[in-house]
Homo-oligomer: A and B are copies of this chain.
Amino acid sequence: MPLSHDDVRELDRQDPLAPFRPRFALPPGTIYLDGNSLGAQPSAAVEAVDALMAQWRDSLIQGWNQGWFDAPERLGDRLAPLLGAEPGEVLVTDTITHNLFKLLGYITEGQGITEGQAQARPVILSEGGNFPTDGYIAQGFCRFGGFEHWVVPEGESFDAYLDERVAVVVLSHVHYRTGRLRDMAAITRQVYASGAEVIWDLAHSAGALPVELAACGVRYAVGCTYKYLNGGPGAPAFLYVRRDCQDRAWQPLSGWLGHASPFAFEADYAPAPGITRFRTGTHSPLACAALEASLALWQEVDLALLRRKSQRLIELFRDALGDCLAKHGIADITPPEAQRGSQVGLVAPAHGYAIVQALIARGVIGDYREPGLMRFGFAPLYLSHEDVWQAAQHMRAVLSEGEYLAPRFKQRGAVT
Contacts and interface: CB of A to CB of B under 8 A. Distances in A.
A61 B45 contact: no
Contacts of A233: 56, 63-64, 68, 282, 284-286
A415 B65 CA distance: 7
A53 B60 contact: no
B49 A286 contact: yes
B143 A114 contact: yes
Interface string A247-291: 000111111110100111111110000000000111111110010
Contacts of A95: 255, 280-282
Contact of A64 (B30, B280, B415): B415
Interface string A211-249: 000000000000010100000111111000000000000
Contact of A416 (B26, B49, B69): B69
Query: Contact size class for A?
Result: 35 or more
B143 A250 contact: yes
A30 B60 contact: yes
A144 B49 contact: no
A98 B99 CA distance: 12
Given A65-B413, A284-B234, A105 B144 contact: yes
A133 interface: yes
A34 interface: yes
A97 B137 contact: no
Interface string A134-166: 011101110111000001000000000000000
Interface of A: 25-27, 30, 32, 34, 37-38, 40-41, 45-46, 49-50, 53, 56-58, 60-65, 68-69, 94-98, 101, 105, 109, 114, 128, 131-133, 135-137, 139-141, 143-145, 151, 224, 226, 232-237, 250-257, 259, 262-269, 280-287, 290, 365, 367, 369-370, 413-416
Closest 9 CB pairs of A and B: A95-B281, A140-B254, A97-B255, A97-B281, A234-B284, A133-B256, A136-B269, A64-B416, A144-B252
25 contacts: A25-B57, A27-B57, A30-B60, A40-B57, A61-B367, A61-B415, A62-B415, A64-B416, A65-B413, A65-B415, A68-B233, A94-B94, A97-B253, A98-B253, A105-B144, A109-B143, A135-B269, A137-B253, A137-B254, A140-B254, A144-B250, A233-B284, A234-B282, A264-B370, A282-B416
